[in-house]
Amino acid sequence: MPLSYLHTMVRVKDLDASIAFYNLLGLKERKRHDSEGGRFTLVYLSPPEQTDGHADLELTYNWDGDDELPSDSRHFGHLAYECDDIYALCQQLMDNGITINRPPHDGRMAFVRSPDNISVELLQAGDAKAPAEPWTSMGNTGHW
């Protein structure tokens, strides 16, 4: 019996802040479901060039709060996205107040955290970029 990947779900405390963060990564809202009875909102995001209606990421927001959501969601692992220019994306994120926890020292890989501490891995598409400043000498911040 074949399986088809649907999405990854993460719970969020501040839906607007989380959507803004994932928009900075280039993801766009594809659909939204508000459940009056269940008192939650589901927002599905995916890259804009993905036109098949499939969502990579489901944000789940509980209207009455989510006290069970840990402050450090490290147990989740991470989301991973490939990008065309890791340096440009990291600069855009920094320009918008996002901490680069693991800068792309090697021109290949970086890590950032969402507003809900979800670890997000960014990978350079194709070959790694040549090492460049300020990334090469930028230190790691926190953990990812």
Query: Pseudo-torsion of CA 122, 78, 69, 18, nearest 10°?
Result: 20
Question: What does DSSP assign to residue 76?
Answer: G
36 is an active site residue: no
Order the strands of the 100-102 sheet from edge to edge.
78-83, 119-124, 109-113, 100-102
Catalytic residue among 29, 58, 121, 133: 121
Q: How far is the C-alpha of 113 from the C-alpha of 110, rounded, in Å?
A: 11
Instruction: Tell me which residues are annotated as active site.
Output: 121
